[in-house]
Amino acid sequence: MRGIPSLITDIRKKVFTEVARMAYEGGDYSKVEDLPYVIVPGDSPMHRESIFLERAIAGERVRLAMGLSLRPVQSRTLMTDGMDNAAIAEQYYEPPLVNIIPYACHACPSNQYRVTESCQNCLAASCQKVCPKGAISFVNGKSHIDPEKCIKCGKCAKACPYHAIIHLERPCQAACGMDAIGQDEHGKAVINQDKCVSCGQCLVSCPFGAIVDKGQIFQVVSSILKGDKVIAIVAPAFIGQFGKASTPEKFTTAMKMLGFDSVVEVAIGADVCTIEEAKDFMENVPEKHNYMATSCCPAWHSMIHKLFPGEAKNISMTLTPMVFTARLQKRIHPGCKVVFVGPCAAKKLEAIREDIRSDVDFVLTFEELMGMFQAKDIDFAAIPEGDSMKEGTASGRGFAVAGGVAKAVANVIHETNPDFEVKIASAQGLKECRKLMQLAKAGKYNGYLLEGMACPGGCVAGAGTLLPVELASTVVGRYQNEADEDSPLNSKYRDVGKHLN
């Protein structure tokens, strides 16, 4: 369902747009009680059994978009509860970042095999013959699976010549590479926050839109209206996300129309990160560490710490491109506020770390930023071109696509040490990342550079993106080709890493 417009994406857009509009109109958050009626107008439900349920869900979405927690269903609370403290420019998120609205959850079937109407009651009865537990019988001329006996091995589904047996799995559970999603006594999905790394893949996989991450749209606009010098640092995956007319030059114009002081591409931080990780690898592998894992993806980083704590020493100590870029802006513009704009939900979690929060003040996803554009009625086709963004290299821009980080690091090592061969292993999606780390722990990747990306396809597949993954990858490739320089070693920021680490 990624990249496919739907009622869910429409509702998310409306929520982000109305929260941004409320903020731009002066920030009177008492109006928040009216937003569910704006988001869900009329007197007939669009997709659920009750318009009152739809509005209740919309209300929780609004609260989460403003960084607030879900309200308990057991007691009466107002939508504005807690907003005195949350609706200010300095407010960070309260954990947890990713939330399930319980009454929006469909309580989907969890890991079941079912016989469909396609069953032909064939003489071969292959499904019955291969079942190791005798769980399949024939009832009224159709195969029937006894759920008490079934061990979910899937042999029946593979054996059926008509593909009449299907595997039902909760989409959110299937998407979660951390096995962090279970269910409560009512069959509703719940997140084990001790396991969750906030990659957001469950969020974009739920066909009922029940999973939502917290946002800072209101706080960003509040900071702008307060008169802060707010600088947007933009991940390279931004290219093409806001429509065909959203060239980098028009994008900078649009951002200034929103009130941002300036726009900087995070590719420059990626260039610094590349050089520093190349140094890190050459200095430490294999003398001090058996291998080195890249540091850029916060969900991959968190996964290693949670599941492979003994291997965490092998993660590069280099800062991420977001932090390098933010620190650079704070050095150049003392007292400024920095907003990271990117595709990633996990970056929100990274930004609130104790050692990072003074560098990155706010995080917005592309989806949330689109809500701000719509709140201000910005039409990319009608606005003039502004400043270009030409400081990032092709390698730095390539961080947006899976494989790009390791490739950039290996290229820099080869440039500085032509005879040195860098062996690379990479994985996309946390399930594959776990397999990669299991092999690394077993010593299979000694001497390697490991790249892990929590989202299949890389950052272009983050939970806050607007484009289909394949199209986004293609557009980023073109954006790389437009860079003035290929190598981070030719960046004017090549030497700043030692001052920012």
The answer to whether residue 223 sits within a structural domain is no
Name the DSSP class of 312: G
Q: How many CB atoms lie within 10 A of CB 88?
A: 14
The answer to whether residue 401 sits within a structural domain is yes
Q: Are strands 112-115 and 165-168 parallel, antiparallel or unpaired?
A: antiparallel
Of the candidates 232, 267, 295, 248, the residue with the CA atom closest to the CA atom of residue 492: 267
Q: Helix (H, G, I), strand (E, B), or coil: what is residue 338?
A: strand
Q: Are residues 137 and 74 in the same domain?
A: no
The token pair that represents 467 in the structure block: 């484009």
How far apart are the C-alpha atoms of 309 and 305, rounded to whole Å?
5
- Answer for the pair 234, 266: CB distance below 8 angstroms, yes or no: yes
Its pTM stands at 0.94
Q: Are residues 381 and 408 in the same domain?
A: yes
Q: Helix (H, G, I), strand (E, B), or coil: what is residue 374?
A: helix
- Answer for the pair 392, 494: CB distance below 8 angstroms, yes or no: no
Q: Are residues 480 and 396 in the same domain?
A: yes
The answer to whether residue 2 sits within a structural domain is no
Q: Are residues 436 and 337 in the same domain?
A: yes
Quote the strand ranges of 303-406, DSSP E. 337-342, 362-365
The answer to whether residue 185 sits within a structural domain is yes
Range of the domain at 151: 112-168
Q: Which amino acid is at 247?
A: T
Q: Are strands 362-365 and 337-342 parallel, antiparallel or unpaired?
A: parallel
Q: Are residues 395 and 461 in the same domain?
A: yes
CATH code for position 162:
3.30.70.20
Tell which of 191, 218, 245 closes a domain: 218
Q: Are residues 181 and 311 in the same domain?
A: no
The answer to whether residue 1 sits within a structural domain is no
Our CA dihedral for 178, 184, 189, 191, rounded to 10 degrees, sits at: -40
Q: Are residues 366 and 466 in the same domain?
A: yes
Q: Are residues 151 and 183 in the same domain?
A: no
Q: Are residues 305 and 341 in the same domain?
A: yes
The answer to whether residue 74 sits within a structural domain is yes
Q: Label residue 268 left, alpha or beta by phi (over 0 means left) and psi (-120 to 50 means alpha).
A: alpha
Q: Are residues 398 and 484 in the same domain?
A: yes
The answer to whether residue 224 sits within a structural domain is no
Q: Are residues 14 and 133 in the same domain?
A: no
Tell which of 160, 191, 218 closes a domain: 218
The answer to whether residue 468 sits within a structural domain is yes
Q: Are residues 211 and 161 in the same domain?
A: no
CATH code for position 259:
3.40.950.10
Number of domains in the chain: 3
Residue 306 class from Cβ within 10 Å (0-12 exposed, 13-18 middle, 19+ buried)? middle
Sequential pLDDT tens for the chain (501 residues): 566 788 999 999 999 999 999 999 988 888 999 999 999 999 999 889 999 999 999 999 999 999 999 999 888 888 988 888 776 666 667 789 999 999 999 999 889 999 999 999 999 999 999 999 999 999 988 999 999 999 999 999 999 999 999 999 999 999 999 999 999 999 999 999 999 999 999 999 999 999 999 999 999 999 999 999 999 999 999 999 999 999 999 999 999 999 999 999 999 999 999 999 999 999 999 999 999 999 999 999 999 999 999 999 999 999 999 999 999 999 999 999 999 999 999 999 999 887 888 899 999 999 999 999 999 999 999 999 999 999 999 999 999 999 999 999 999 999 999 999 999 999 999 999 999 999 999 999 999 999 999 999 999 999 999 999 999 999 999 999 999 999 999 999 999 988 887
